[in-house]
Amino acid sequence: MLKRFLISSLFLGLISVLFGSKVSVASNYDYSIYTPSNLSKLSKTVSEESKDTNILFIVDFSNSMNDTINGKTKLDMARATLAEILPKIPPNIKTGLRIYGHKAGFTYLQGCQASSIKVPLGYNNHQSIMNNLYSSYATGWTPITYSLKQAINHDFAGIAEKKHIILLTDGGENCDESPCTYVINLMKDRDDIKVDVIAFDIHDAEANNQLRCTALMTRGKFMTADSEEDLSRSLFETTGARKDVRGSVAIPKIE
């Protein structure tokens, strides 16, 4: 009995060290949550975050992104904050864009595979990313796990350096297996992938738990945002961009 207790204690201690979070036998989702109010507590520096990193933005274009907050759609807020941040990402970092939910589809299968790489990873992609954000429309479902699988298996194919995904979503998975389950299995064999999750205006406990797990299991950050200001702070934190760096992109006209 003593031997079993010691082994269990050692295992829980190891998990705590690996993931830097409190371990609780009472809940599968007892993790520390990053919110705009406690971003200053993060210890990693900009140089540590950006070293040998390829940043792929995965942006939610499901129908609920047409919902408004204070008279402005969530999609327009996402576009505006990305337009502010993209030019300030260090130039030695490759960026890319994948979106999901931009096609409704006539069948369940079509809707749940509506995920496309719009801008492959590369340097100086700021304007291309913005052009694609403004030429796409929110209309479909939320295939998060399928999008993560496509990103890891295809978008990052042949890339040996760190792989950094920034997932901006206003809802949880509603097509495939939980992204939490997927990354837990993925990280058994990988240590080169990090997923930061920005949960935008999500007030569903199950969805937040699912997304929190997805971030923390990859040693990423889970952030909540309920306003455009929150969203901006979260994106600055995840990208390592400096607010005092000047830069701009042209905002495309929506036809």
| Residue boundaries of the structural domains of the chain | 1-25, 31-239
Which range scores top for mean pLDDT: 15-29, 34-48, 196-210? 196-210
Position 250 scores a pLDDT of 64
Residue 83 has pLDDT above 70, yes or no: yes
Q: Return the structure tokens found at 191.
A: 């240590």
Over 90: is that where the pLDDT of 171 sits?
A: yes
What SS3 class is residue 145?
Answer: helix
Token pair, residue 61, equals 């274009």
Cβ atoms of residues 211 and 197 within 8 Å: yes
What is the CATH code for 31-239?
Answer: 3.40.50.410
Q: Give the strand order in the sheet containing 222-225.
A: 115-122, 94-100, 53-60, 162-169, 193-200, 222-225
Q: 55 Cβ partners below 8 Å, 6+ apart?
A: 89, 93, 94, 95, 96, 164, 165, 166, 239
DSSP codes, 189-226: T--SEEEEEEEES---HHHHHHHHHHHHTTT--EEEES
Predicted confidence (pLDDT) at residue 7 exceeds the cutoff of 60:
no
**Segment 60-75, tens digit of pLDDT:** 999 999 999 999 999 9
d(CA 204, CA 213): 14
Amino acid of residue 211? L
What's the pLDDT band for 3 if we cut at 50, 70, 90? very low
Is 28's pLDDT higher than 50?
A: no
Which pTM was predicted?
Answer: 0.78
Instruction: Evaluate whether 116 touches 145 at the Cβ level (below 8 Å).
Output: no
C-alpha–C-alpha distance, residues 35 and 41, integer Å: 10
Structure tokens at 206: 């199950």
Q: Which residues pair with 199 in a beta bridge?
A: 169, 224
Distance CA 37, CA 229 (A): 12
